[in-house]
Amino acid sequence: MQTGNGLKFPTEFYDAYIFDMDGTIYLGDHLLPGAKRLIEELRRREIPVRFLSNNPTKDPHLYVDKLEGMDIPTPLEDIANTVVTMTRWLKDHHADKTVFPIAEQPLIDALHDAGIKISDDPEKIDIVIASYDRTFDYRKLQIAFDAIWFHKRAILVATNPDRYCPFPGGRGEPDCAAIIAAIEACTQTKCQVITGKPEPVMLEVAIEGLDVNPRHCMMVGDRLYTDIEMAKKTGMFSAMPLTGDSTMEEALALPKEHQPDFILDRVDRLIPAAVWEENGWTAEDD
């Protein structure tokens, strides 16, 4: 359904819904309007729901706890963040390699648990992992530099390409893209693989085990260059709520093929208007 102000809402249900979380379901520690009843309605109809995040600083269990604290009970298997996708990619493609994670503890713990060898000795490192790391320092940069540039043995991969992590009130913190850029600048190499949005590997992990047609699934997220771009790369439908990072103006400035299929003023507009009417929903009562 097209509205007169540039918003466009779906008129049908899809086979599965894959949600970004921060800026889409919640913002900081506050649930966004309509999110709870949206998830409840999809689950009532037995439509699969999955949650994604590019944030590798949190163990997936923390997302379960956070959603449950907001009265959205969620099983662990419904969560995929870049801790999960990086670990899965390494196990699938480089299980015998030695890695140096420039990362915070949740990713390091996951790599240990998966049996992936970790070292800070540049002569032994095969893969340098750049991640969102608030403990990043010159020592870590030097190790990456030596492994990639001096010993010429390691490749650079990354959890996610985000430039910054948004905070409520318009603030933010430098994210993984800053660390990728630092390593690329001094080594004159390029990051070879990213296991987070917008790369398709993340959606593949998210819908793994679901008997659904990926081309009739819906990716929902507030960032054009990660959430929506990932949907475009995989052929999924896409919806962007205007409750997070990207704006209506930014979306409409893109070439048509990169624009989201739907632009929402609130995330529960994913539920068709006919169902809103059946349920007696209004925008004021949630």
Taking only the tens of pLDDT, the chain with its 286 residues reads 777 688 999 999 999 999 999 899 998 889 999 999 999 999 999 999 999 999 999 999 999 999 999 999 999 999 999 999 999 999 999 999 999 999 999 999 999 999 999 999 999 999 999 999 999 999 999 999 999 999 999 999 999 998 988 776 778 899 999 999 999 999 999 999 999 999 998 988 888 889 999 999 999 999 999 999 999 999 999 999 999 889 999 999 999 999 999 999 999 999 999 999 999 999 887 7
**Nearest C-alpha neighbor of 83 from the set 67, 105, 59:** 59
pLDDT value at position 217?
96
**Nearest C-alpha neighbor of 111 from the set 135, 103, 51:** 103
**Nearest C-alpha neighbor of 251 from the set 219, 231, 218, 222:** 222
DSSP, res 190: -
Run of H or E including 232:
helix 229-234
Strands 17-20 and 218-220: parallel
Tokens representing 131?
Answer: 């991640």
pLDDT value at position 49?
97
Q: CB of 156 within 8 A of CB of 101?
A: no
pLDDT value at position 4?
60
